[in-house]
Each structure stands twice: as structure tokens, then as C-alpha cells.
Amino acid sequence: MKTIHVNTGRSYDILIKHHILDEAGMYIRPLTKAIRAVIVSDTNVAPLYAERVKQSLVKNGFETSVFVFEAGESRKRLSTIEQMYSHFFEHHLTRTDIVVALGGGVTGDMAGFAAASYLRGIDFVQIPTSLLSQVDSSVGGKTGVDLPFGKNLVGAFWQPVLVLIDPETLHTLPEAFFRDGLGEVVKYGCIRSRSLFERLENEQAKDFIDDIIFECVSIKRDVVENDERDTGERAILNFGHTFGHAIEKLENYAGITHGEAVAAGASLLTRISEAHGMTESGTSERLERLLKKYDLPQDSRFSLDEIISATQGDKKSTANSINFVFLKNIGSCYLHKINTVDFKTFFAR
Ligand code: MG
């Protein structure tokens, strides 16, 4: 088993171990006085794993119920949170009880937000089952839901008490979901780990997936520990995301996954920063080659003009400038603020 300790306002461990799903209760028990546990999961994941996690919780003395919502980003709404609250109430969840998020990013974000807000906050555990959530969204304490006019516009910083990662769950993951996660994995290599990037180049990701998870989570831990509330360094995790979010929006959040959009955004941006001499030459070509190897997009069908316009309203933008993450070279990056009035000239090429 690999353990990563996270020292945020509330500190917690991330445990990476094969078949840890069946031992969830054993690892959660010492951390809580909870009598009841609610597993939150969606219609894709619950049939695969909810019963196993439930058995493990029951065996360790938790009265356990399961709340299942319909899978999909379109369900990441306050109305689903309200249904969770009803379930919590009907199952007599108290402030000292616990919520267990079992699933991908949507599940973790929503269960986390419900836990952050119900009775002004109860403990929760993350059990991420997709590559994207294992390497990225389950760590760092960002929770929330979408509003009709934008993604993740309502939420809270709420750290889990424990994160359990079972790499076995990746075996049941459809290829498209694996690629989705790989988009973020490549991002971690780009911004902080040349060695990860090189291994991705020289080996096949699936052959060293445990190491990939460990490396990405370690990087995220380091960044989040320095900037839990996302006011500084944490912005580097948004490499590729400003354009990525714009592309997702232009695609109406269908037909392209988050990781694919991030890959396309990272590639587009690096081509531009390199042309400006702000990224070591040869970097964008190398990035494109790696993305191609893993069947990730290096470009968007939308024009740069369309993408630029769609970046307005990005959550990461301040009133009149956007903080972009540029690569210095493979493995290191820096923030560069661009005034929105300078956009047209900077990105005109
Ligand atoms: Mg992301």
C-alpha cells in the first residue's frame, strides 16, 4: 500500500491499494465516531461496487444506506443535492455521521458539497473510481455543483477525512474515461514532472498506472498544501484549462471529455507561448507527439478567435485579465497574466 499524507487545514491520508474497496470500513472506522454512513454513488458505479463497500462498512459497525443518482454531468445540480439531503434526513444522519463518495468526479464533487453543507458540515470519505478522479478531483477539497449558466459555480472547500484509491476499478473503466483521466495525467507531467512525462513517452500508461496515480496525487498534494484556497500557486493546476473550459463550453459539454479538452487547450496554448519565445523551443512538438500517442486531441475544431471569446466568463479570470499557465519546458511552468485588452494581439497568429 502507498500512503500520501495531506497537510491542509484538516489533514488526511490518501491510501492507494488494490482491492481496498473491500477494506473501506476498516480504514474509515478509526477516524470517526459515526454510527451511520451514507454511500453516494451513481447508476454506473453503484451496481459495480456499492454492495462491496456497504458490506465492508456494515462489518465495521456502520448502519449503512446507499443513495444512487442518475449518472452524468447533467445531474450535477442543486436538485440532486436536495435529494441527497432528503436521503440523509430520512436515514437520520447526524453531525457525527459520515458520507462516502463512491464514483467519479461528479459524485465526489456533489457528495462532498452535500457533506460540506448538511447540518453545516459532516465528515466525508472519497473513494474515486475513475482515473480522472483518482489523479485529480478527489484530492484538494474542492466540492460543488453546476448552475444552469456555468460549471462548478456553487461549492465549498471541504477536505475529506480519507481518500481510498483502488486501481482495480480502472479495469472496468471504458476507454474514453481512461483517456479523460490521461489528459490530466499529461498535465501533471508538463507542469511538474519531467520524469513522469518521459515515462509516458517511453512506456504505456496502463503498464505503470499505480506509479502514475502516486506521482499525480503527490504533485497535487504539494500544490494544494501550499495554497489550499486557490489564491496563488494552485493556479498552475489549470494548465490547459482556460482554453479547455472554453472548448468544453463551445462543444456544449458533449462529445468531448474534460481531459480531452484540457489536452487540446494545453497543446494550443503551448504552441502560442513557444511562438512568443516564452516556452523552450521543441516543447509543443513533444507535447503534441505524446498526446497523439494516447489518442488525445492536439487541436480544436473551433478557431482561436472563438476559443478566446469563450474564455470570457471563465471562473479563473479576474475583472480584466486572465492568468495563463505557460510551460517553461517539459516539467516546469509559470503563471503569466494577460490583460483582456491585449488578447487579440497576443493570440493573433
Ligand atoms: Mg481539470
What's the pLDDT tens digit per position in 68-117? 999 998 999 999 999 999 999 999 999 999 999 999 999 999 999 999 99
Tell me, what's the pLDDT at 49? 98
Q: Are residues 151 and 208 in the same domain?
A: no
* 69 CA from centroid of ligand 1 (Å): 22
Q: Are residues 283 and 339 in the same domain?
A: yes
Q: Are residues 340 and 197 in the same domain?
A: yes
Of the three residues 172, 196, 226, the one that is the final residue of a domain is: 172
Tell me, what's the pLDDT at 347? 86
* 2 CA from centroid of ligand 1 (Å): 24
* 36 CA from centroid of ligand 1 (Å): 32
* CATH code: domain of residue 195: 1.20.1090.10
Structural domain range at position 216: 175-347
* 212 CA from centroid of ligand 1 (Å): 16
Tell me, what's the pLDDT at 329? 98
Tell me, what's the pLDDT at 44? 96
Q: Are residues 62 and 115 in the same domain?
A: yes
* 241 CA from centroid of ligand 1 (Å): 7
* 259 CA from centroid of ligand 1 (Å): 7
Q: Are residues 282 and 187 in the same domain?
A: yes
Q: What are the grid coordinates assigned to 328, written together?
A: 517553461
* 183 CA from centroid of ligand 1 (Å): 9
* 28 CA from centroid of ligand 1 (Å): 27
Tell me, what's the pLDDT at 275? 96
* CATH code: domain of residue 69: 3.40.50.1970
Q: Are residues 165 and 182 in the same domain?
A: no
**How many alpha carbons fall within 13 Å on the CB side of residue 231?**
3
Task: Single out the residue of 88, 96, 95, 42 nearest to residue 65, CA to CA.
Answer: 88
Q: Are residues 328 and 196 in the same domain?
A: yes
Q: Are residues 96 and 113 in the same domain?
A: yes
Rounded Cα gap, residues 227 and 230, in angstroms: 6
Tell me, what's the pLDDT at 311? 86
Rounded Cα gap, residues 52 and 46, in angstroms: 10
Tell me, what's the pLDDT at 318? 58
Domain count, the chain: 2
Q: Are residues 180 and 254 in the same domain?
A: yes
Q: Are residues 70 and 199 in the same domain?
A: no
* 137 CA from centroid of ligand 1 (Å): 7
| Sites in the chain below the pLDDT cut of 70 | 313-319, 349
* 121 CA from centroid of ligand 1 (Å): 25
Q: Are residues 215 and 276 in the same domain?
A: yes
Tell me, what's the pLDDT at 316? 57
Q: Are residues 152 and 214 in the same domain?
A: no
Tell me, what's the pLDDT at 314? 58
User: Beta-carbon neighbour count of residue 99 at 10 Å?
Assistant: 26
Q: What are the grid coordinates assigned to 279, written together?
A: 516556452
